[in-house]
Structure 1
């Protein structure tokens, strides 16, 4: 067996424990009077309607003119984009063409305290309109919740000279490109304009080379790029040393502002949860008790490999919650429904199974007369494909559930948006859990086992299930 350095056990274990702590509690700080979240934890998870309840809102065009079916569909599509870009998958969205209405149901925010439906629907920015304006003149500057300045209310030429509106934007997406100066990979926002937008933008960029065209959502500036060249083909990019998260956020804001008309909220109400927070609390207690029982079983039955398996399981659980809370900057927060919790539980069960298979194989090799190093290596080799075959089939199922039951697909028409969103949540958490199983239950477990076996106190075969020495 190829030995793994002794410090590896402690390094891997400490990294897993840090992930577990930070993914559970998050890391927050104070910037003056403002609270800043550096790393999101479990408290930042947005729970689904079935657990936390939510809001029902009805949107209508802010005009007396009859809207066309195409306009209603366009507005509905933009609202759906706003929901999905915020990873709100547990929603229902309907169109009423006869009465010019769009009806949406979605869960409360994770930190909701007032449970005011009128305030909650502002998260969708239903009345926000996107504009590209000449110059970068503003009236006031305030400080946002993240401590960064927020520029509000255009003035002067910026207020009067509107170059493009949201309806002129065909698409906006985050893109990676290589900086020609530094050679480093960085991010930008790629824009594609409509036919009318292309013509207007070509005229503006020809006149404003070297000047700023600022981008506003209602009266809040969201970007202020400078024109570097004349753009005549309707395709351009916004560059500014963006991170992946910043580029994605800006692209989402631009896309979300492309409404064909302003919307007003004509009706809103609250939705009661089918389970409620008390059920969530009960599930939490049950989960802690179940995990404690699993830990005792693994320690008694498998001794040292069982102890290592417990550490690996903590990492897998932490990764599952980190993937839905917004812990990673490149993965936004995700609506966690009851089926989503079921996906996490199922994947944890498969993680336990993977560790048991490996521990049993090592134990069998020891009783067959192998040396400790030989038993660990042979046990790892013999168990890998059994674990791989069992997990890869679940990966395929998870991918299919996400692809087929995603927020927008043909099955949404057959089963309804709420059903597909719930199934999508199950597929997502199941897939993340299996990825965590390979990362922690297979890779991390084996590194820690080979590493700790190099210590003299851990060379006794009894610790691995063999005969006492």
Structure 2
């Protein structure tokens, strides 16, 4: 940052920020007839959380006080996740508290939903799953079993004793290193399974596995299995295959659950209430930005105006990280506390500029030249900016680790700290920590680097060399 400023630096950076902000807020899309093609996602494409969109927050527990094992709770979680997928509710949160045998589920209203019955949805999601092993894999146009597959049920959930994901460690095996699911059958299913596998092994037929009316797997029968112990081999040895094996084992176990799930409690949020809250938060954000901009320009003049341009870029970039503007990053679910984090970041975003502008004003009034004052202002103001932002980053990371998903990046990275918190329903706090963290990190990019480049550039224009524009006194001599 010791290079001399050029006037074009200001114009190039300012134009790039304005263009980026325009696309980040409005997005880029094309309309062809009734089809809309989204090229770049904007603010209107942000995924909103339950507290904005409306939805249901429900806690499931085993009925009749049944003391479930961790494996059984994991299987029950798989049932709920499969049900949510079947209902086309993909924007959901499912947490399992193994210590208290609780499964916390949060899911939003469907898009455009006007008449939604939360009780029936809860009953549908928490109902006991029906697991079946069927001959073949014939399905109708809706993907449901038909023909031989519908008529020939080989096993039911009660016939499965356990399913376990494992990896083949036998170096002499043809499937060495591959993941598989080990099945152990109850006596009630051994005979029918032996008959089916003996018959189907001759033609290399298949036995499909169904969760309700959804086919979750269809392994090929390679040999007769008469002892009640089967192996479903997955072709692969990577992490993705391991996760598939674990998921399949959990789903199979869910069909053999010895308990039903009951809704301990639930709460609902009206979509209209969330929409009103969103409108209020957006207005608050716009007002906060305008007030901060007026304060910066009134108190720090030209450095303040440059800081406002940088702040616009910071706000737009924060929204870009939320909306899915960058195709390599998935969109993030934004909640009301998340919007509060953005508003808070707006106030904190000018912190670096306030410190630098005050330093510049002091240096000019002490007799330094404009170039020397700008250089000294940013150099001397950098240390306190770093200290202040690092402390906020620590807090944001703690919020994301403690109140986010247990398989999240920060939760895994700092597992010895966060394991005590257990599964959390406070996804809204996680959203707050995310937007706050992104905003503070972007403060280094826009509040320090971009502002410095723009200010050094514009200060080279002859019309911008008046000390008054930087907080000095009119016609004050500088050295």
Q: Do both share a fold (TM > 0.5)?
A: yes
Q: Once superposed, what is the RMSD of the aligned Cα atoms?
A: 5.5
Matched residue, 2:430: 424
Q: CA deviation at 1:395?
A: 0.9
| Correspondence 1:167-316 to 2 at 5 A | 193-194=180-181, 235-236=236-237, 259=251, 260-261=253-254, 271-273=268-270, 276-316=274-314
| Correspondence 1:3-402 to 2 at 5 A | 3-30=4-31, 33-56=34-57, 69-70=69-70, 72-78=72-78, 104-108=104-108, 111-114=111-114, 116=116, 193-194=180-181, 235-236=236-237, 259=251, 260-261=253-254, 271-273=268-270, 276-402=274-400
| Preserved CA contact (<8 Å) 1:56 1:269 | yes
| TM-score, length basis structure 1 | 0.64
The separation in 2 between residues aligned to 1:441 and 1:276, in whole angstroms, is: 32
| Preserved CA contact (<8 Å) 2:165 2:246 | no
| Preserved CA contact (<8 Å) 1:194 1:234 | no
| Preserved CA contact (<8 Å) 2:181 2:249 | no
Q: CA deviation at 1:235?
A: 4.0
Counterparts in 2 of 1:31 and 1:443: CA distance versus 1, 3 Å:
same
| Preserved CA contact (<8 Å) 2:310 2:447 | yes
The separation in 2 between residues aligned to 1:154 and 1:278, in whole angstroms, is: 45
1:252-292 residue CA offsets vs partner (Å, 9 max, x unmatched): 99969963447999999981259632232122222222221
Counterparts in 2 of 1:294 and 1:56: CA distance versus 1, 3 Å:
closer
Q: CA deviation at 1:328?
A: 2.4
Which protein has the larger Cα radius of gyration, Structure 1 or Structure 2?
Answer: 2
- Structure 1 unmatched ranges of 5 or more: 130-136, 142-151, 160-166, 172-190, 197-215, 223-231, 239-246
Counterparts in 2 of 1:437 and 1:257: CA distance versus 1, 3 Å:
farther
Q: 3-state SS of the aligned residue for 2:474? A: coil
- Structure 2 unmatched ranges of 5 or more: 131-137, 151-161, 167-177, 184-209, 217-232, 407-417
1:13-65 residue CA offsets vs partner (Å, 9 max, x unmatched): 2222233222222223335533333222222333333333213568899xxxx
| Preserved CA contact (<8 Å) 1:45 1:335 | yes
Counterparts in 2 of 1:266 and 1:299: CA distance versus 1, 3 Å:
same
| TM-score, length basis structure 2 | 0.63
Q: 3-state SS of the aligned residue for 2:36? A: strand
1:205-262 residue CA offsets vs partner (Å, 9 max, x unmatched): xxxxxxxxxxx9999999xxxxxxxxx9964469xxxxxxxx9xxx999969963447
Q: How many residue pairs get matched?
A: 397
1:457 aligns with 2:457: no
- When you count strand as a share of all residues, which structure comes out higher? 1
1:382-439 residue CA offsets vs partner (Å, 9 max, x unmatched): 11111011101111121122223322254544xx722x42332222121111111111
1:284-324 residue CA offsets vs partner (Å, 9 max, x unmatched): 22222222122112112111111111111111212222222
